[in-house]
Structure 1
Amino acid sequence: MPSWSNIPSDYPRPSLPNSKFVLVRIYAIGLNRAELRARNAEPISPVEFGIFQGEFHEQCPKIIGEEFVGEVVEAGAETGLQVGDRVAAWAYGGGKAYDGSYAEYTICHYRRCWTLGDAARDVPWEVLGAIPMGLWTAYGAIFLAADTKPGDIVFIHGATSSVGLWGLLAAKDKGCTVIASTRQKGKVQKLKDAGADYVLLESELADPESIRKIAPKGVDTVLELVGLEALEKISMPATARGGTVVKCGILGKVWKQEVGAGLVTAMRKLTTFTTLDEDFEEAGRILRDAVEKVKNEVYRKEHFLDSVFDLEDVGKAHQRMEDCEATGKVVLRVS
């Protein structure tokens, strides 16, 4: 388990660097696997900073953390935000441009900060904390990058991750048929409870015809979350002619992969959903719509929220995420 005992916990409250930033009192933090890299000061790509690549630098911050929910306590004149607004926000690249979200207060550029609407006042903070990046990544990958339509067949490879579960929920909400995968038999029922039409174990995917038995012509969209190593053997062969594979996850921790003849032969359409694709207004609309649906139990918290830890127990939370024990989002509560 990561040792946090020697890490200082007393830092000054940050101040706004300019009029485009807000200061937010954080109440919940959604954990992301990128923070496992940030914790170890492993290298990242400038691409992870999206439209903010000008902020990239190699030095790690003292405080990591990519996303959070909370209330605006100070707003720069150019932000359009107000004190008291309930917001969701994220800082790309593991929080390397500025200190991240593992804290009571953080600063955020207004282009990475979205109001959550009136419904957010009826949803607990820890539930709100399980929504932002997982939902937006999944929605953007399936419906923006892949242009998936209602009635399409979607295969989610790595479906028990936060992004995977949000992809499942969003795709079902749009009327798609969903095939989901997991490595663990104990998580099969959880995927079915969340709405998956079919669930395949990773061991079953070793048979290249496993998905074709469900979708003889192949699936329309693959949300590939396991990683590059799965493209040639699983994702591409499962995809229908004219279909799309969206690669936006590295659950398998393989960061480089050679393109072999088999991948070229299987190739349909491969794309990625990155922060460069981000539409600020669309992201806000999708987030607010999701909060409304959570309030009305269209999206039920037990389907996307795995567990909640106090900020002081961040080591235990990281261990749960690193050991792949979670089904859905692990959240830190900030009291």
Structure 2
Amino acid sequence: MSKTRIVQFHETGPAEVLKIEEVTLPEPKENEVRLKTEAIGLNRAEVAFRSGQYLEQPDFPSKIGYEASGVVDAVGSNVKSVKAGDKVSTIPSFSMKEYGMYGEDVIVPEHAVAKYPSNLSAEEAAAIWMPFITAYGGLVETGHLKKDDYVLITAASSSVGLAAIDITKAKGGIAVASTRKQEKKQDLLNAGADHVIVTDDEDLVKKAIEITGEKGFNIIFDPIGGPIIEALAKAAAEQATIIEYGSLSGESAAFPFGSLLKNRLSIKGYILMDITTNPEKLKPAKDYIFKALEEGKFKPAIDKTFAFEDIVEAHKYMESNQQKGKIVVKV
């Protein structure tokens, strides 16, 4: 009986709980695809899942992982959109309690596989759907981004932050990136940001007034949450939308009631699954992103590549917050 290797964990905890284990090669069931993996894209959601701090709790032993690229080598019954030999990558649109993409051979539901532009490498293909669909869904679908909007993108050196800069610029908006450290400022300017606020050295609200001519930001796209929300609300324009798509701070926040009333703000919680599990919303997002990637207008930002055997080190690196873009594991 054929064997393959996957990453599993048997308890929540630090990166070291991740184990590469040999298992029987799985067979795809109805509406499932088996993928021979070439590359895996890492995401903050997986760190949270591994740590027991995600939206859902793992069942042990637990698989892990949302994004991978590779070649289809088997399909289950009723699969119509792909066939053996197709190069595809995965769209996060499933539960990690059921499927995990960290492995040499993985099972994926058919609705979660998509062909990618031929000008991309396998490593790049593992770094497109999570960042670009997250940014598209937040800014375009939820934020209704329009030309000349001032858009504040916090934690901007992440893969989602860099994708948000691309989409803001493509839609004619003014991209303002924020980062804690001075060392990332030039990289963000090189990535296309019109302005960069270094929050360890600069007052975010004062810089917002200076950059926008006292108008404030029309859209704020934030994965940090916690205490920063009060400053974000003060930096917002009248009738602005603050989009919260994460909770990296892990802290609670005082509700900015005064700013909310004064400027009639909208604060919206948003997750990627709002788009990826809704076929009517997913199709325009996929079409827009595919075309921009194919034309070279968007480029996946890969920070560092690790070997499959170094999955623990890859997770540790993600938690160090050093990265400027996507962390990819080559299989």
Q: TM-score range by the shorter chain?
A: 0.7 to 0.9
Tell me if structure 2 keeps the 8 A contact 1:75–1:81: no
Counterpart in the other structure of 1:16: 28
Cα distance change, pair 93–44 in 1 and its aligned pair in 2 (3 A): farther
Q: Tell me the C-alpha RMSD between the 2 structures.
A: 2.5
The residue that corresponds to 2:221 in the other structure is 223
- Residue 259 of structure 1 corresponds to 255
Q: In structure 2, do the counterparts of structure 1 residues 283 and 305 end up closer, same or farther at CA, with 3 Å as the change threshold? A: farther
Residues 258 and 207 of structure 1, relative CA distance in 2, 3 Å threshold: closer
Q: Flag the structure with more relative contact order, 1 or 2, with Cα contacts below 8 A and sequence separation at least 6.
A: 1
CA distance in 2, matches of 1:222, 1:205: 18
The size of the alignment, in residue pairs, is 313
Matches within 5 A, 1:225-304: 225-233=223-231, 235-254=232-251, 256-259=252-255, 261-262=257-258, 264-265=260-261, 268-274=265-271, 275-278=273-276, 279-280=278-279, 282-287=281-286, 289-301=288-300, 304=301
1-side partners of 2:206 and 2:101: how far apart?
Answer: 44
Q: 1:110 to 1:324 in 2, by over 3 A?
A: same
* 1:180 has 2:177 as partner: yes
What is the deviation of 1:183? 0.8
Q: CA offset at residue 264 of structure 1?
A: 4.6
Whether the aligned pair in 1 keeps the contact of 2:153 and 2:178 (CA below 8 Å) is yes
Q: Which amino acid aligns with 1:259?
A: F
* Equivalent AA in structure 2 for residue 30 of structure 1: G
What is the CA-CA distance between 1:245 and the residue it aligns to? 0.8
Q: 1:82 to 1:207 in 2, by over 3 A?
A: closer
Q: 2:66 maps to what in 1?
A: 66
Contact 2:275 2:281 in 1 (8 A): no
Letter in 2 for 1:74: A
Residue 212 of structure 1, aligned match among 209, 213, 227: 209
User: Cα offset for 1:219?
Assistant: 1.4
User: Which residue matches 1:50?
Assistant: none
Q: 1:106: which partner in 2?
A: 106
Q: What are the Cα deviations for residues 63-97 of structure 1, in whole angstroms up to 9, with x where unaligned?
A: 31121122222223433222223222245677222
1:115 alignment partner in structure 2? 115
Equivalent residue, structure 1, for 2:79: 79
Gaps of 5+ in 1: 47-56
Q: Distance in 1 between matches of 2:62 and 2:43?
A: 17
Of the candidates 39, 49, 55, which is equivalent to residue 45 of structure 1?
Answer: 55
- CA–CA distance in 2 between the matches of 1:74 and 1:218? 52
- The code of the aligned residue for 1:32 comes to N
Q: Percent identity?
A: 27
Gaps of 5+ in 2: 1-13
Relative to the length of structure 1, the TM-score reads: 0.84
Q: Matches of 2:239 and 2:207 in 1, distance apart?
A: 20
TM-score scaled by length of structure 2: 0.85
Q: 2: distance between equivalents of 1:325 and 1:191?
A: 14
Assess if the C-alpha contact under 8 Å between 2:49 and 2:58 holds in 1. Answer: no
Once the 2 structures are TM-superposed, how far is the Cα of residue 295 of structure 1 from its aligned partner? 4.6
How far off is 1:7 after superposition?
A: 2.9
